[in-house]
Structure 1
Amino acid sequence: MYRSLVTLLGVLTLTSLAIAAPAPWYRYQSLATGRFICSQVDPGPHYMKFSGPWTNAGCRP
């Protein structure tokens, strides 16, 4: 019983890793200064999404 549970958990973990993908990058512009940043997460209400999604941290093709 214990061995089959551990095996099932291992298979489920490996399956979830196989379908995982990196998060996309977006270029955001500051509403206060006009500067641009490249981020995978929304930096907050003082930024607007400018372009994306990108596949790299430089927000370039």
Structure 2
Amino acid sequence: MQILRSAALGAALVAVVSSSLAAPAPYYQWRSKLTGALACSPTPLGEGWVRSNGPYRDARCEKPIVAK
């Protein structure tokens, strides 16, 4: 019973520490192949879109991430 309690406490500790180190996904500007329209998204929008600029910190693609 003591081993199970220690394992559960260890798993909870790992979950808390790993979630505190997580960062939001970067956003990228995507350009439509068809119309040239721009969209901002952290994930690809489909076959009709190509990545144009990025990465950005915000969902409006206004604040670029500066590499250190």
Q: TM-score, normalised by structure 1?
A: 0.93
Counterparts of 1:1-61 in structure 2, within 5 Å, are: 1-61=3-63
Q: Percent identity?
A: 31
Using structure 2 for the length normalisation, give the TM-score: 0.84
**Structure 2, gaps ≥5 residues long:** 64-68
Aligned residue pair count: 61
Task: Considering Cα pairs closer than 8 Å and 6+ residues apart, tell me whether 1 or 2 has the greater RCO.
Answer: 1
What is the Cα-based RMSD across aligned positions, in Å? Answer: 0.8
Which runs of no fewer than 5 residues in structure 1 stay unpaired? none
